[in-house]
Amino acid sequence: NAGVTQTPKFRILKIGQSMTLQCTQDMNHNYMYWYRQDPGMGLKLIYYSVGAGITDKGEVPNGYNVSRSTTEDFPLRLELAAPSQTSVYFCACLRGGSWDYGYTFGSGTRLTVV
């Protein structure tokens, strides 16, 4: 099993461009998450989903949108990219189907906005 798969691994965007970060999990879990990691700042929650059709904002949702049409996929959309969105983005889902085992993470997407 692949677990959580993120694409692309790297991307450079110009200011004002848009893109979608893809996230797919094959563990059939309802709970999925998007975090961003900035140097020295840990991981901050952008959006999360508790199942298909249900999404909610995290700590830093501005500039992003999500959708959850299937259990497997949880794409993150950046509209009008800004330099402040330069970061590493991680998708995750519950590990083992229960919150007491934390999360399984994808390998991350390094995004640079120039």
Residue 40 touching another protein (CB under 8 A) = yes
Q: Say whether 96 sits in a helix, a strand or coil.
A: coil
**Binds another protein (CB under 8 A): choice among 24, 45, 67, 80:** 45
Q: Which of 54, 55, 34 is CA-nearest to residue 44?
A: 34
CB of 43 to another protein, least distance (A): 4
> Burial level of 20, CB count in 10 A (0-12/13-18/19+)?
middle
Residue 110 touching another protein (CB under 8 A) = yes
**Binds another protein (CB under 8 A): choice among 13, 24, 29, 48:** 48
